[in-house]
Amino acid sequence: MNPRRPAALALTCAAALLALTGCGSKGASTASSAVAPTTTAMTTPAAVTADEHANHTTLKVAVGATVTVQLHGTYWSAATSSAPDVLAPAGSPTTVPSPSCRPGGGCGTVTTSFAARTAGTAHLTASRTACGEALNCSPDQRTYDVTIEVTG
């Protein structure tokens, strides 16, 4: 028997285990920069958090899931749902400024959560006009839109 073969098999198994570990998750999942800026489907666990990297994508969640939009920068408006019967607000939006930010810097987050109530499709949208102190956003930086497909 080749002495290198068990080591190679062990490395292959370890790599596969690491890849599978990344697929299963407990609690919240974050849409990452790996999500393409085109329509992309992603099955999610009971809770998912989407940030700027999820802009212009499609996320799939099951009825009962919680979808949280957390946008970095206090210049963002709170996200709203285009179909509250499908994706209803869950609590009040929160704005948390960063403690180390200078006044007017816009550092911090704006977070809004939604509950997936029934099967259907909803858009979660937010907007801003300022991208920093006295800095207007370019047109492609002004809107946030994520499509959420809720499955039964």
pLDDT of residue 59: 96
pLDDT of residue 46: 87
**Is residue 57 one of the residues assigned to a domain?**
yes
**Is residue 18 one of the residues assigned to a domain?**
no
* Ranges in the chain, pLDDT < 50: 1-40, 44
pLDDT of residue 45: 58
Domain of residue 50: give its range. 26-151
Q: Would you tell me how many other CB atoms lie within 10 Å of the CB of residue 68?
A: 19
Give dist(CA 39, CA 74) in Å, integer: 26
Give dist(CA 42, CA 144) in Å, integer: 18
Q: Would you tell me how many other CB atoms lie within 10 Å of the CB of residue 100?
A: 7
pTM above 0.75, yes or no: no
**Is residue 12 one of the residues assigned to a domain?**
no
pLDDT of residue 20: 30
pLDDT of residue 10: 38
Q: Are 60 and 149 in contact (CB under 8 A)?
A: yes
Q: Are 118 and 54 in contact (CB under 8 A)?
A: no
pLDDT of residue 135: 85
Number of compact structural domains in the chain: 1
Give dist(CA 151, CA 123) in Å, integer: 15
What is the longest distance spanned by two Cα atoms in the chain? 70
pLDDT of residue 6: 39
**Is residue 13 one of the residues assigned to a domain?**
no
**Is residue 44 one of the residues assigned to a domain?**
yes
pLDDT of residue 104: 75
Residue 50's closest CA among 75, 81, 10, 19? 81
**Is residue 7 one of the residues assigned to a domain?**
no
Residue 145's closest CA among 30, 58, 49? 58
CATH code of 92's domain = 2.60.40.2020
